[in-house]
Amino acid sequence: MRILIVNGVNINLLGLREPLIYGLVTYKQLLKNIKEWSHELSLKVKVVQSNHEGKLVDFIQKYKNVDGIIINPGAYTHTSIALLDVLKAVNKPSIEVHISDVSEREAFRQVSYIKEYCFKTISGQGILGYKKALKEIKENIEGKNK
């Protein structure tokens, strides 16, 4: 089973950016954890990151043959109809992940264009949200293949 993990704007600054909100785990450590979790779950995972909206769209189009997508678009969550449209276009099971609990943050963070397409949103679980997303997307895909 092949999963694409798409990380958006400023996710590469984990461990540096607002550690009280996003924690002290670095992006490099997150990638190491994702590799371990995907191995435990027998998943083939491709992880990409960009601070540019169009590049994120390009990644999703390029890797459209995956079985599922996990996406943390960062601030593009609240602004990007383009990311919503590309998720709809490739039509793969998708989960939205946020490290912080966006429901308890600023009002503008309550808007998620991505949520309209994703079958689940995982928020406020730190980087463990990615582990949960990997498990849930695997279960979802396996359920559809039965």
What pLDDT is recorded for position 81? 97
pLDDT tens per residue, range 10-59: 999 999 887 877 878 999 999 999 999 999 999 999 999 999 999 999 99
For 9, residues 6+ apart whose C-beta sits below 8 A from its C-beta are 50, 51, 53, 73, 74, 75, 76
pLDDT at 3: 98
The CA distances from residue 95 to 18, 27, 132, in Å, are 24, 19, 10
The pLDDT tens digits of the residues spanning 63-104 come to 989 999 999 999 999 899 999 999 999 999 999 999 988 777
Of the residues 27, 98, 117, 130, which is catalytic? 98
| pTM for this prediction | 0.93
22 is catalytic: yes
In whole angstroms, how large is the CA radius of gyration of the chain?
14
Catalytic-labelled residue, pool 22, 27, 63, 113: 22
What are the chain's domains? 2-52+63-99+106-144 (3.40.50.9100)
Mean pLDDT of 104-129: 87
Taking alpha carbons only, the member of 63, 38, 40, 37 closest to residue 50 is: 63
Cα distance between residue 10 and residue 97, in whole Å: 14
Q: Is 39 a catalytic residue?
A: no
- Residues contacting residue 79 through CB under 8 Å, at least 6 positions apart: 113
